[in-house]
């Protein structure tokens, strides 16, 4: 209890010393403030950019493997001539994998065609992406139906002329508050009944077109409109999306299983290279993360120099404080103050000084988050706040340890006579 009381006394002495030398305190903490601001602002912007970009990639799904001919990111040289010769994923391959895979929680084949014109009476909307999805499509992608219903098994197997439309498509074709569900639209001058409207998503940070401008129809119906499969043109190529289980860490078992079955299905010999690629959305996210790691390191380097200057400033002020209060230290020690009491008194003063600078820097970063930046949402996370305060404390501890140790080791008689 006595020790705790002495520690609180040390805190009180430190606070009093900082308050009595306000101008010196402010000047000393500027370096720390600038350093913390530089580091945390860069990390905050990097984290926010990374999160916004990854959120923009949510349309690719999570824990999903895409079987197709073109890679998301090339490993080394982009061998387009080799990729072009690869066959497309086919409906028969999809049915084969669906029947044999054990480590998948969902599988679907789908294809898309952009820049479509969708009509309804005298209204029309262009730049629409027409998507054909098989059974299991809603397990690979989120289809948040706001009105109506999703495809039934009969719709999908029979390739019925039914459609699920995005919110912007619905607004364009039904502008007067009409109920879209049950009405008919025209795709390539063929009639399709609207069975659902997807909930509005809005534009993503990277400008990717969301499902607001999508029209989804059964895959077997899409195949009647556009050629798909092995010999199809790349603009109407099909992909097979396969979703794994959470227990399959890294989807290793699923990936090995898909590779084995697909190589067998395509008649590849053991020495033949894969004539397909298994794309993972994580590959894009990892590439983005690596880029931002470099930017974050640059922020640490820039902020580190400011923190170094701030640390020297705090150390210099602490040496001055010890010099000014040498006689007071002597009196305290002659009255029974322990060495750790004097040590804590100056050490806490240095840490407090650095923490105040850190808080000021964090406040400046917070002000940045209030500035409108379009679609970019900047957020100061708890992780970065804790990091800023921790770095500030460490700088204060390092800057104050030597002056505090010198003060604690002063001889009380010599200290009293110093002034």
pLDDT digits over 351-381, tens only? Answer: 887 888 888 889 988 888 888 776 667 888 8
> How far is Cα of residue 2 from the mean position of the Cα atoms in its chain?
49
Q: What is the pLDDT of residue 195?
A: 94
Task: List beta partners, residue 118.
Answer: 125, 187
Do 294 and 270 belong together in one domain? no
Q: What is the pLDDT of residue 219?
A: 92
Residues 6+ apart with CB under 8 A from 79: none
What average pLDDT does range 327-348 have in this prediction?
74
Angular region, 63: left φ>0, alpha ψ -120 to 50, beta rest: left
Do 225 and 331 belong together in one domain? no
More confident residue, 320 or 135: 135
Q: What is the pLDDT of residue 71?
A: 78
Q: How far apart are CA 137 and CA 133, in angstroms?
A: 6
Q: How far apart are CA 52 and CA 43, in angstroms?
A: 14
Do 93 and 162 belong together in one domain? yes
* pLDDT bucket at 416, cuts 50 / 70 / 90: confident
Q: Give yes or no for residue 65 having a pLDDT over 60.
A: yes
Nearest CA to 212 out of 144, 122, 140, 137 is that of 144
The last residue of one of the domains, among 249, 275, 301, is: 275
CA 355 vs CA 106, 367, 419: distances in Å: 51, 18, 31
Q: What is the pLDDT of residue 289?
A: 66
Q: Give yes or no for residue 300 having a pLDDT over 90.
A: no
Q: How far apart are CA 287 and CA 60, in angstroms?
A: 15
Do 271 and 139 belong together in one domain? yes
Do 294 and 370 belong together in one domain? yes
The last residue of one of the domains, among 275, 305, 334, is: 275
Q: Give yes or no for residue 252 having a pLDDT over 80.
A: yes
Do 328 and 409 belong together in one domain? yes
Q: What is the pLDDT of residue 215?
A: 92
Q: How far apart are CA 29 and CA 307, in angstroms?
A: 10
**Average per-residue pLDDT for the chain:** 80
Q: How far apart are CA 402 and CA 409, in angstroms?
A: 11
Q: Give yes or no for residue 162 having a pLDDT over 90.
A: yes
What average pLDDT does range 191-198 have in this prediction?
93
Q: Is residue 82 part of a domain?
A: no
* pLDDT bucket at 13, cuts 50 / 70 / 90: low
**pTM as predicted:** 0.64
Which position has the token pair 């500027």? 30
More confident residue, 419 or 135: 135
Q: How far apart are CA 17 and CA 374, in angstroms?
A: 45
Q: Is residue 64 part of a domain?
A: no
Q: Give yes or no for residue 213 having a pLDDT over 90.
A: no
Nearest CA to 36 out of 315, 312, 356, 289 is that of 356
Question: Per-residue pLDDT tens for 138-151?
Answer: 888 888 888 899 99
Q: Give yes or no for residue 221 having a pLDDT over 80.
A: yes
Among 8-22, 79-93, 295-309, name the one with the lowest average pLDDT. 8-22
Which run of H or of E encompasses 216?
Answer: strand 214-218
Do 294 and 145 belong together in one domain? no
Q: At residue 233, what are phi and psi to the nearest 5 degrees?
A: -70, 150
Structural domain of 373: 2-56+287-417
Q: Ranked by mean pLDDT, which of 41-50, 127-136, 208-217 comes out on top? A: 127-136
Residues 6+ apart with CB under 8 A from 10: 341, 344, 345, 348
Q: Give yes or no for residue 91 having a pLDDT over 60.
A: yes
Do 17 and 166 belong together in one domain? no
Do 240 and 343 belong together in one domain? no
Q: What is the pLDDT of residue 419?
A: 57
Q: Is residue 67 part of a domain?
A: no
Tally of domains in the chain? 2
* pLDDT bucket at 161, cuts 50 / 70 / 90: very high
Q: How far apart are CA 402 and CA 419, in angstroms?
A: 22
Do 243 and 334 belong together in one domain? no
Q: Is residue 25 part of a domain?
A: yes
Do 169 and 234 belong together in one domain? yes
What average pLDDT does range 240-251 have in this prediction?
82
Q: Is residue 63 part of a domain?
A: no
Neighbours of 49 (CB within 10 A): 18
Length of the chain measured in residues: 419
Do 104 and 217 belong together in one domain? yes
Q: What is the pLDDT of residue 59?
A: 57
Q: What is the pLDDT of residue 232?
A: 43
The last residue of one of the domains, among 275, 306, 339, is: 275
């Amino acid at each position: 209890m006595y020790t705790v009381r002495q520690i609180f006394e040390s805190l009180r002495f430190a606070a009093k010393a900082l308050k009595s030398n306000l101008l010196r305190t402010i000047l000393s903490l500027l370096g720390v403030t600038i350093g913390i601001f530089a580091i945390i602002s860069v990390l905050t912007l990097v984290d926010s950019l990374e999160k916004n970009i990854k959120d923009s990639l949510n349309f690719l799904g999570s824990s999903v493997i895409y079987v197709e001919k073109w890679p998301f990111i090339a490993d080394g040289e982009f061998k387009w001539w080799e990729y072009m010769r690869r066959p497309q994923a086919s409906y028969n391959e999809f049915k084969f994998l669906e029947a044999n895979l054990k480590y998948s929680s969902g599988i679907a084949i789908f294809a898309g065609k952009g820049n479509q014109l969708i009509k309804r009476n005298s209204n029309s909307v262009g730049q629409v992406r027409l998507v054909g999805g098989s059974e299991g499509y809603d397990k690979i992608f989120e289809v948040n139906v706001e009105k109506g219903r999703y495809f039934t098994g009969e719709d999908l197997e029979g390739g019925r002329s039914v459609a699920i439309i995005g919110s912007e498509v619905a607004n364009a074709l039904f502008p007067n508050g009409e109920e879209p569900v049950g009405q008919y639209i025209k795709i390539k001058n063929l009639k399709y009944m609207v069975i659902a409207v997807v909930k509005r998503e809005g534009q993503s940070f990277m400008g990717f077109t969301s499902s607001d401008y999508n029209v989804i129809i059964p895959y077997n119906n899409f195949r009647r409109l556009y050629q798909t499969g092995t010999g199809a043109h790349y603009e109407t190529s099909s992909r097979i999306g396969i979703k794994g289980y959470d227990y399959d860490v890294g989807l290793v078992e699923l990936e090995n299983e898909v590779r084995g079955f697909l190589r067998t299905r395509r008649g590849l010999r053991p020495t033949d290279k894969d004539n397909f690629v298994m794309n993972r959305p994580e590959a894009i996210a990892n590439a983005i993360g690596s880029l931002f790691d470099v930017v974050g390191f640059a922020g640490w380097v820039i902020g580190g120099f400011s923190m170094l200057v701030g640390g020297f400033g705090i150390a210099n002020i602490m040496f001055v404080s010890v010099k000014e209060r040498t006689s007071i230290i002597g009196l305290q020690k002659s009255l029974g103050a322990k060495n750790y009491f004097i040590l804590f008194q100056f050490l806490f003063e240095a840490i407090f000084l650095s923490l105040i600078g850190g808080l000021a820097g964090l406040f400046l970063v917070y002000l940045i988050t209030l500035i409108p930046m379009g679609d970019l949402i900047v957020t100061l996370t708890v992780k970065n706040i804790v990091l800023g305060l921790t770095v500030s404390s460490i700088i204060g501890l390092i800057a104050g340890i030597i002056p505090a140790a010198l003060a604690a080791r002063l001889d009380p008689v010599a200290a009293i006579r110093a002034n």
